[in-house]
Amino acid sequence: MNNIVIVGLQWGDEGKGKIVDYLSENADVVVRFQGGNNAGHTIVVDDEVYKLNLLPSAVLRRGKISVIGNGVALDSHALISEIGSLKVKGMDVNPNNLMVSESCPLILSIHKDKEKLLEDLNVNHKIGTTNKGIGPCYEDKVGRRAIRLCDLENVDELNKKVDTLLNYHNALRRGLSYQVVKKEEMLREIKEVSKKILPYKKPLWRILDDFVKKGKRIIFEGAQGTFLDIDHGTYPFVTSSNTVASQAVIGSGLSSSAYVIGVAKAYTTRVGNGPFPTEQKNEVGNNLSTIGKEVGTVSNRRRRCGWFDAVLVRQAVQLSGVSSIVLTKLDILDSFDTIKVCTGYKYSGEIYDYLPASHSIQEELEPIYEEFPGWKENTQGKRSVKELPLNLMKYMRRVEELVGVPIHLISTSPKREDVIELRDVKFSEGALVS
């Protein structure tokens, strides 16, 4: 098994970017397989902060291949601009080191318009999306009217597809008393970027198949988190893609199995609306938010904060077939006297050891907590397990018991090098060993 899938085990922003960057030192290829530029993955290299939205985190390492799979909703303008901003910092992303699936559905400005119109209409449950047009683009994909990257080459085909797409969107816009979009406007928007984006277009499933046969080491970089998954998340307060590990196969065309690593924060955060059983709307939440600098990477919104929820993380481990986890941001808990972990929920006289699917029940769940004494010691930037306080080790052991899989590495700061490997899981002579 030469492939690793990295997924978020909470509501996103677990630190996936940093971990993918760390592990990709020993990989050849990094693949994004769902979501789009709603993702914000932060990587800190030599005090320079990179915030990647669409590009896989391998773009920061020379000699690696970056891949955007068919499962990604592709905003081509955003991609070209992200490539441009990396160029300014000396990184050369070009068609030799970046490949984009020819089947990617394109995000256009009509999608961003629709998202805004519908969020404004949605009085009862505003999702609080990132406003990148992700949901409406996936709606068009499933509705079989999306324009895909491969359509940009063929003018006749593109003309027909634009007609179909506008029939749908203009009917909706008229119904909402919103200005219609003219065909020329949409064609202009597409043509503006066509020449720049087409050189990246590839039959990716085939290239990945070839990579697998050649024994290339591939990392699949998940975006968002398990509880934002369209099927398994806190619906309807979710994103519009599947974020669990099995999507790596669908969203890339990969035909082989993979070792799955889940990334979790040592506490919990959420951006946008929706249920959050362990949320702390008090001093604890404020402290986590301030010390953890919990501000959304994409939308600059303050992230909601709460205690680590072992019930959720265990469910996420099971949903994605996770073999080991990475725990990030333990250093943010350094100053806490007491640390809590949720081990179950109470609802209507019953105890739940999982997150039920019903939104109304999710909103009413009362967490059951286990308490731990804090370690009250600075752990930021530590690089050896010997330097870790005893209470932190005890906390981690209990987390492992509760979530059912071992912790394989921990992150101790935003910086690339600040990682401690607790278990050796690495690519070795063409195979993955743990």
Is 194 among the residues that bind ligand GDP (CB under 6 A)? Answer: no
Would you call the peptide bond into 275 cis, given omega within 30 degrees of 0 as the criterion? no
Please state, in angstroms and as integers, the Cα–Cα distance from residue 90 to each residue in 59, 85, 272, following that order: 11, 9, 34
Q: What angle do CA 223, 227, 231 make, to 5 degrees?
A: 95
* Interatomic CA distance for residues 356 and 261, integer angstroms: 24
Secondary structure of residue 26 in the 3-state scheme: helix
Residue from the set 13, 102, 221, 331 that interacts with Mg ion by CB under 5 A: 13
Candidate ranges 70-78, 83-91, 199-207, 408-416; the one touching ligand GDP (CB under 6 A) = 408-416
| DSSP summary character for residue 255 | -
* Count of CB atoms situated within 10 Å of the CB of 43: 23
Is 275 among the residues that bind ligand IMO (CB under 6 A)? Answer: no
- Give the DSSP H or E segment for 420: strand 419-421
Please state, in angstroms and as integers, the Cα–Cα distance from residue 266 to each residue in 16, 56, 239, following that order: 13, 24, 23
Residue from the set 3, 18, 136, 317 that interacts with ligand GDP by CB under 6 A: 18
Q: What angle do CA 167, 168, 171 make, to 5 degrees?
A: 80
* Partner whose footprint covers residue 36, from ligand GDP, ligand IMO, Mg ion, none (CB < 5 to 8 Å by kind): none
E strand intervals along 365-414:
366-373, 407-411
* Interatomic CA distance for residues 277 and 382, integer angstroms: 31
* Count of CB atoms situated within 10 Å of the CB of 167: 10
Please give the size of the binding site for ligand GDP, defined by CB under 6 A. 21
> In the complex with ligand IMO, which residue's Cβ is closer, 272 or 414?
272
Asked if 33 and 72 count as a contact pair (C-beta separation under 8 A), the reply is yes
* Partner whose footprint covers residue 414, from ligand GDP, ligand IMO, Mg ion, none (CB < 5 to 8 Å by kind): ligand GDP
Clarify whether 41 is annotated catalytic.
yes
HSE of 431, CA atoms in CB hemisphere, 13 A = 2
Candidate ranges 63-71, 86-94, 130-138, 201-209; the one touching ligand IMO (CB under 6 A) = 130-138
- Give the DSSP H or E segment for 137: helix 134-142
* Partner whose footprint covers residue 128, from ligand GDP, ligand IMO, Mg ion, none (CB < 5 to 8 Å by kind): ligand IMO
Residue from the set 137, 149, 181, 228 that interacts with ligand IMO by CB under 6 A: 228
Q: Minimal distance in Å, beta carbon 111 to ligand IMO?
A: 11
Is 328 among the residues that bind ligand GDP (CB under 6 A)? Answer: yes
Is 297 among the residues that bind Mg ion (CB under 5 A)? Answer: yes
Q: Minimal distance in Å, beta carbon 256 to ligand GDP?
A: 25
The two three-digit tokens of residue 181, written as one number: 């979009």
* Partner whose footprint covers residue 240, from ligand IMO, Mg ion, ligand GDP, none (CB < 5 to 8 Å by kind): ligand IMO
- Find the catalytic residue in 28, 41, 77, 331: 41
Clarify whether 353 is annotated catalytic.
no
| DSSP summary character for residue 141 | H
Interface mask (CB under 6 A) for ligand IMO, residues 96-115, using x and -?
--------------------
Residue from the set 331, 336, 362, 403 that interacts with ligand GDP by CB under 6 A: 331
Residue from the set 8, 15, 40, 367 that interacts with Mg ion by CB under 5 A: 40
* Interatomic CA distance for residues 372 and 397, integer angstroms: 12
Is 130 among the residues that bind ligand IMO (CB under 6 A)? Answer: yes
Interface mask (CB under 6 A) for ligand IMO, residues 288-327, using x and -?
---------x------------------------------
194 burial type by CB count under 10 A (0-12 exposed, 13-18 middle, 19+ buried): middle
Is 314 among the residues that bind ligand GDP (CB under 6 A)? Answer: no
Interface mask (CB under 6 A) for ligand GDP, residues 19-48, using x and -?
---------------------xxx-x----
The two three-digit tokens of residue 300, written as one number: 């600059």
* Interatomic CA distance for residues 399 and 58, integer angstroms: 30
* List of residues contacting ligand IMO (CB under 6 A): 8, 11-13, 38-41, 127-130, 132, 134-135, 223-225, 228, 239-240, 271-272, 297
Catalytic residue list: 13, 41
**Applying CB under 6 A, which residues contact ligand GDP?**
8, 12-18, 40-42, 44, 297, 328-329, 331-332, 411-414
